[in-house]
A and B are shown apart, each in its own frame.
Chain A
Amino acid sequence: MTSLPHVLSSWRGPGIASLGVVICLFALTCATAVLGPQYEVTLLVTMGLTAIAAMGLTLLLIAGQVSLGQAAFMAIGAYVAAILARDHSLPSILALLIAVATSAIAGVVVGVIALRLKGHFLPLATLAIGIATSAGIVAAGPLTGGASGFGQIPPLAIGPLELVNERAFAIVVWSILAVAGAGFSRLLHSRTGRAVAALRTNVEMAEVFGVNAARLRLLVFVVAATLAGLSGGLYAFYFKFLSPAPFGLTSSINLLIACIFGGMSHPFGAVLGAAAITALEMVLQNTVARMFGLSGHVEMIVFGIVLIGVLLRWPGGIWSALQHVWPAFSVARPGRNIELTPSKRCAQGEDLLRVTGLAKNFGGLRALQDVSFSVGADQIVGLIGPNGAGKSTTFNIATGLLEPSEGSVLLMGVPPPARVSDLVHRGVSRTFQHVRIVPELTVLENVAFGAYAQGRSGMISGMFALDRSEEAATFAKAWRALAIVELDGLAHEPASRLAMGQARLVEVARALISRPRLLLLDEPAAGLRTGEKLKLVTLLHRLKRAGTSVLLVEHDMDLVMNCVDRVVVLDRGQGLMTGHPDEVRRDERVIAAYLGA
């Protein structure tokens, strides 16, 4: 698989660029750490530690979660490391590792509880946990030194090698930051990164393509907690004195400021934000205050004004101002085309989808009643009916999103899986009535996300480029799927720029790349122009020949009649009739239902 063309086709602009930026910045930092005055070394360490913790928070923000309690995990890392190293005389490197592990475990515990919360409940819960943690540190005086602090922490040491030199410490901190920064910026454009971005757009959509949403969210939360814990542990060994103040609500908000100020769409934003904030504070303290002899409150006002001003000008933070010079993500088109075929051909005569005697009640409302139909191999079945006939309900029951009140659904001969994320492994894929594509990713990446379930590479291999052959194969398929819907010219456009019709076709391409045996299309022609509709009809016939069956929910009668083998007509929750398009077109009951009699 790792032949030369494959490796070349996975050449990524931002990957190389971020590596270059990391190396340059790192060299600059090392130079400052070695040559600069003592004061700047401390500043560098503070900056680096803030950036490490903020980077975890950025990842969390990219996944669509907000935490107002990130400093609590720093506190756990710092205090566990300090207590183990000083009071239990553990080797300090071991203490640091245990501290980081403890923060990770705390992340798991908090995450399992708090990630059930929806909407703005999560930030509220993390806020409470953050305040409770810092209150807990004060309260647990005998263990943590309480409000008066915890001092005389031994230096960080690996065996006999003691890290007492502050300049060396700065280099260690920035090395960790460099590895994390380069890793996470590569991760953004990997299989896991696409899934994280999809999670923020819409959880249900992410699950349809095989993402285990609960697990991925927890993973991101734990990674953020781990980074915060690492930052806290290093803080303890650098400053050798801890007090509750740097780990309170203010610090959590400061970390958030660093993320938003720097730009929350990219891990480098965290570094930019941490650096900008630390530098701004230093400039204000040294220059403004000293030069004009003004009190500390003027600094606060100026800082506030700068913060407001920058965000009014660039709501996406400093990063969004630099973004246009950053190379856009691109993957070269592979030399030869590959064919997209369904994952498994099904046995002759087997029904891919069979619903019998379906009924669904919403409270007192009977939305569906006695609906039966089936989709066989190599068939296109249309599901039509006036508004409110129960099409969407049928669709959702067929995909296991809703439980039927009565009747049964068989997908490939067995009931639908309990978890939506298992659907794709059955060879089922779908599009959405309200388009759900990830606006931050390119068109090509949106399509590539469709292949999530076929990939195996995880977070680590995404960070350290161990997924190259798999990614090359994924993008080759994504190019192919885009070519099929004739949108390959837009491959590298951000998905947010697509017109409605194009976005629908991208959804079809994304569904195709998961190589479904059964494709469920929810009003794919809504918003399409006539030319695009014709294209869609051709595409559906082509899919059928390649062995994919289609269930089509659609309003456009002409389109349905032109491409389906069978039509199921629903009216007021009941199956009106099932038959060949020509029969349906002539049926008086159907005409009455549509024209109103």
Chain B
Amino acid sequence: MLDTLLFLLVDGVTNGAVYGLVALSLIVIYTVTRVVNIAQGEYVTLGALSFASGLSGSFNVLSAIVAGGIAAFALMDVADRRLVAAVRIRILVSRALWISLVLATAWAANLVPGSYWLAVLASLVATASLGTLAYRLTVAPLSSASPIVLLIVSVGVYMVFHGAAVMIWGAEPRSVPPVVDGGLTLGLVFVTYQSLWICAFSVVAMISLYLFSERTLIGQALQATAVNRTGAQLCGIPVSVAGQLSFAIGAGFSALSGLLLAPLITANYDMGFPIGLKGFVAAALGGIVEYPTALIGVLLVGLSESFSAFQVSDFRDVAVFLMVIPILLWRNAVRPPDAHEH
């Protein structure tokens, strides 16, 4: 009995780690841009599928599309007549570097099939860049629209990404080998190396995000934008850069969760949405603004999921989702959100 319990515990914590990355992505994007991003799960899918492409040594079409998108925006930026030549050259050089980074990582992963780290790098660079493109195309032009319009636009983005994933990779699931086969016995319970890997990688990623936002100037600027957009703008923080950065971080973290999870459930076009939804519920427990509460949330969601899968009862799902209500009521009484957001 105890070993089953421990097994479920490990399973739940592993799931929680994956959802945690998605929950953090949602929070970063929401706090900085006020977008409740329905398309978040698709970055999970795209990350996992890009990773599978890289590992199998086939060229990642997504990288090419992203490079094209960056080039298109670079041309649009340069076409602005108010810019002086020096600025134009700086834009062109920086964008050229960016494009070559995207293409070079994809190409390197293509040249050395089976290289874990190159595949991870290529996938993360492509997906994070895709996030910035999504911001520039669908969020930046709607800076004065209400959050609900932004939410619906993100549904449109979800549809495009979802369809594109099938068009590029097909509907067949792709099996992805774990980083190392096997596992080890910890006391009573057998833990796969992949589970340990997922937890370790997630924790490292979360710590680096924390250090980034606390210790670096850019991170502080991002936090300032999250607290007060207009105020940050007045202090000279460009809202568009903050928005692109938040989307890059959000997309990258979600892609990371996808490529970590892929060996356990295979990479397929349909994997993202349920993960995105669970990340969303976890983030909701923290009112999608607080990181620490969201982390408790992901553990709750991960554990309740693995335990309910073991003990077959459909009403468990009902209970898990209804659990959100009293928590929100309690949080609302203790620390209500800013009522003028909508």
CA–CA, A135 and B324, complex, Å:
15
Q: Which of B239-264 contact A (CB under 8 A)?
A: none
B148 CB contact (under 8 Å) in A114, A124, A203, A260:
A260
CA–CA, A119 and B341, complex, Å:
6
Q: Which residues of A contact B337 (CB under 8 A)?
A: 118-121
Q: Contact at A128–B332, with CB atoms within 8 Å?
A: no
Q: Which residues of A contact B38 (CB under 8 A)?
A: 253
Q: Counting CB contacts under 8 A, is A428 at the interface?
A: no
Q: Which of A255-289 contact B (CB under 8 A)?
A: 256-257, 260-261, 264
Q: How many residues on A have C-beta within 8 angstroms of the other chain's C-beta atoms?
A: 47
A128 CB contact (under 8 Å) in B159, B160, B324:
B324
Q: Which of A134-155 contact B (CB under 8 A)?
A: 135-136, 138-139, 141
Known: A125-B325, A308-B138, A311-B156. A138 touches B314 (CB 8 A): yes
Q: Contact at B163–A298, with CB atoms within 8 Å?
A: yes
B341 CB contact (under 8 Å) in A113, A120, A295:
A120
Known: A128-B322, A298-B163. A117 touches B152 (CB 8 A): no
Chain A binder among B47-55, B68-76, B179-187, B281-289: B281-289
CA–CA, A303 and B155, complex, Å:
10
Q: Which residues of A contact B321 (CB under 8 A)?
A: 128-129, 131-132, 135
Q: Contact at B329–A113, with CB atoms within 8 Å?
A: yes
CA–CA, A300 and B269, complex, Å:
14
Known: A301-B160, A304-B159. A260 touches B329 (CB 8 A): no
Q: Counting CB contacts under 8 A, is B9 at the interface?
A: no
Q: Counting CB contacts under 8 A, is B135 at the interface?
A: no
Chain A's closest residue to B342 (CB) is A64
Q: Contact at B329–A253, with CB atoms within 8 Å?
A: no
As a 0/1 sequence over residues 225 to 264 of chain A, the CB contacts with chain B under 8 angstroms (1 = contact) are: 0000000000000000000000001000100110011001
Q: Is the interface of A mostly helix, strand, loop or mixed?
A: helix
Which of A113, A306, A307 has its CB near the most chain B CB atoms (within 10 A)?
A307
Q: Counting CB contacts under 8 A, is B65 at the interface?
A: no
Q: Contact at B149–A260, with CB atoms within 8 Å?
A: yes
CA–CA, A292 and B89, complex, Å:
43
CA–CA, A257 and B154, complex, Å:
11
Q: Counting CB contacts under 8 A, is B145 at the interface?
A: yes
Q: Contact at A121–B331, with CB atoms within 8 Å?
A: yes
Chain A's closest residue to B333 (CB) is A116
Q: Counting CB contacts under 8 A, is B309 at the interface?
A: no
Known: A120-B342, A301-B159, A307-B153. A135 touches B317 (CB 8 A): yes
Q: Which residues of A contact B315 (CB under 8 A)?
A: 136, 139
Q: Counting CB contacts under 8 A, is B177 at the interface?
A: no
Q: Contact at B157–A308, with CB atoms within 8 Å?
A: yes
Q: Which of B260-282 contact A (CB under 8 A)?
A: 277, 280-281
Q: Contact at A127–B152, with CB atoms within 8 Å?
A: no
Q: Contact at B317–A301, with CB atoms within 8 Å?
A: no
Which of A116, A264, A312 has its CB near the most chain B CB atoms (within 10 A)?
A312
Question: Taking the nearest CB of chain A, how far is it from the CB of B268, in angstroms?
Answer: 13
CA–CA, A203 and B336, complex, Å:
15
Q: Counting CB contacts under 8 A, is B141 at the interface?
A: yes
CA–CA, A127 and B145, complex, Å:
22
Q: Which residues of A contact B284 (CB under 8 A)?
A: 124, 127-128
CA–CA, A110 and B280, complex, Å:
21
Chain A's closest residue to B331 (CB) is A121
CA–CA, A136 and B147, complex, Å:
29
Q: Counting CB contacts under 8 A, is A448 at the interface?
A: no
Chain B's closest residue to A256 (CB) is B152
Q: Contact at A312–B141, with CB atoms within 8 Å?
A: yes
Question: Taking the nearest CB of chain B, how far is it from the CB of A250, in angstroms?
Answer: 10
B322 CB contact (under 8 Å) in A66, A132, A253, A264:
A132
Q: Counting CB contacts under 8 A, is A297 at the interface?
A: yes
Q: Contact at B164–A257, with CB atoms within 8 Å?
A: no
Known: A304-B157, A311-B149. A117 touches B341 (CB 8 A): no
Q: Counting CB contacts under 8 A, is B174 at the interface?
A: no
Known: A121-B337, A132-B321. A307 touches B148 (CB 8 A): no
Q: Contact at A135–B341, with CB atoms within 8 Å?
A: no
Q: Which residues of B contact A61 (CB under 8 A)?
A: 148
Q: Contact at B148–A120, with CB atoms within 8 Å?
A: no
As a 0/1 sequence over residues 287 to 309 of chain B, the CB contacts with chain A under 8 angstroms (1 = contact) are: 11000000000000000000000
Q: Contact at B328–A66, with CB atoms within 8 Å?
A: no
CA–CA, A308 and B150, complex, Å:
10
Chain A's closest residue to B287 (CB) is A121
Q: Counting CB contacts under 8 A, is B339 at the interface?
A: yes
Q: Counting CB contacts under 8 A, is A439 at the interface?
A: no
Q: Contact at B325–A114, with CB atoms within 8 Å?
A: yes
Question: Taking the nearest CB of chain B, how far is it from the CB of A206, in angstroms?
Answer: 13
Chain A's closest residue to B152 (CB) is A260
* Besides the known contacts A119-B341, A124-B287, A305-B160, 20 further A-B residue pairs in the complex with CB atoms under 8 A apart: A66-B148, A66-B342, A119-B337, A121-B328, A124-B284, A125-B324, A125-B325, A127-B284, A128-B281, A131-B277, A132-B317, A138-B314, A203-B339, A298-B167, A300-B159, A300-B163, A304-B156, A311-B142, A312-B141, A315-B149
Pull 20 A–B residue pairs with CB atoms less than 8 Å apart, ordered by A: A61-B148, A66-B342, A119-B342, A121-B328, A124-B288, A128-B284, A132-B322, A135-B321, A141-B314, A249-B277, A253-B38, A260-B149, A299-B163, A300-B162, A301-B160, A303-B156, A311-B153, A312-B138, A312-B141, A312-B142
The 10 closest A-B pairs by CB, nearest first: A304-B159, A139-B314, A119-B337, A301-B163, A307-B156, A128-B324, A300-B163, A304-B160, A135-B317, A308-B156
